[in-house]
Amino acid sequence: MPRPFFIAVLASFKGNNKMTTQPYSVFYKVGRGWLMLAAALLLGGCGSSNPPPKTEAATILPQAKAISAFTLSRGPEKTFDDENLKGRWSLFFFGYTRCPDVCPTELFTLAETLRKIEEKSDTAQEKPQVVFVSVDPQQDQPEAVQKYVSFYHPEFIGVTGEQVAVDKLARSMGAIYERAYFLNGKALIFDPEEGAPEGLENSYLINHSATIFLVNPEGKLHAVFSSPHMSDTIMKDLAAIQQSWG
């Protein structure tokens, strides 16, 4: 099973047992998934013979992509798995609760999208479930993740789990993130086999993409929304995709 891994920006540092500080960072990264997703997006013409609807921000996959089976936690004795995706549309976002900017902005936009769908009584548009996956289970407990997302919208679902489980799901969707460690304002470079220096295990930030992933009622990745995001645009594109579904 693929494992999380560290990548030093400068290969010459690999194998050096001495810790040093340089204006470079060591990354905790999941990257294969986006390569597979990019390949799928380039393979236009395969999949359904029906032309996809016109969208402004959403990129619809030529053929919906199966995602890995998963089981994550929402809190004590509460789980969320791939079976919870069947029968309804879902919007996924990957981030972490300590995120200073990207996550608050995107969660606010997603909450605004749901509220606009709720307020639009003249349409039968289906409201999707929004799932926030914390990629930082080392510091994000499941109940804390759920509490965090509930601040933005009471129906938001916040989940996390073992790092390997989170990475597997992220990889299958194409989410990208990286963990960077810092000391005295400088990024650290160290031997990944030795792990983070003692006392600095939690001295990191996570850089991550702002992509929103749309999963269809069959539980397959159907489209992606690249940033920047606007609630009106997400709502309109989602409506168009839902109307063309089936």
CA separation for the pair 172, 33 (Å, rounded): 5
Sorting pLDDT into bands at 50, 70 and 90, what band is 185? confident
Among residues 24, 145, 34, the alpha carbon closest in space to that of 80 is found at: 145
CB atoms within 10 A of CB 135: 26
20-244 carries CATH number 3.40.30.10: yes
Tens digits of residue pLDDT in 89-128: 999 999 999 998 899 999 999 999 999 999 886 667 899 9
Measure the N-to-C terminal CA separation of the chain; round to a whole number of Å: 35
Question: Which one-letter amino acid corresponds to residue 100?
Answer: P
Q: Which two tokens stand for residue 37?
A: 């997703």
For residue range 63-99, what is the model confidence (pLDDT) as tens digits? 999 999 999 999 888 999 999 999 999 999 999 999 9
Q: CA quadruple 242, 174, 103, 79: dihedral positive or negative?
A: positive
Residue 34 scores a pLDDT above 80: no
Query: Which band of pLDDT confidence, cut at 50, 70 and 90, is reported for residue 19?
Result: very low
Q: Closest by alpha carbon to 235, among 64, 91, 94?
A: 91
**pLDDT number for residue 210:** 92
Which among 153, 150, 19 is positioned nearest to 97, based on CA atoms? 150
Sign of CA dihedral 77, 83, 86, 91: positive
Kindly state the helix (H) or strand (E) to which residue 70 belongs, with its residue range. Answer: none
Could you tell me which residues are beta bridge partners of residue 8? 26
Please determine, for residue 201, whether its predicted confidence score (pLDDT) is greater than 60. Answer: yes
Lowest-confidence pick of 7-21, 34-48, 183-197, 216-230: 7-21
pLDDT at 24 over 80: no
- Phi-psi category of 219—alpha, beta or left, where left has phi over 0 and alpha has psi -120 to 50? left
What global pTM score does this model have? 0.79
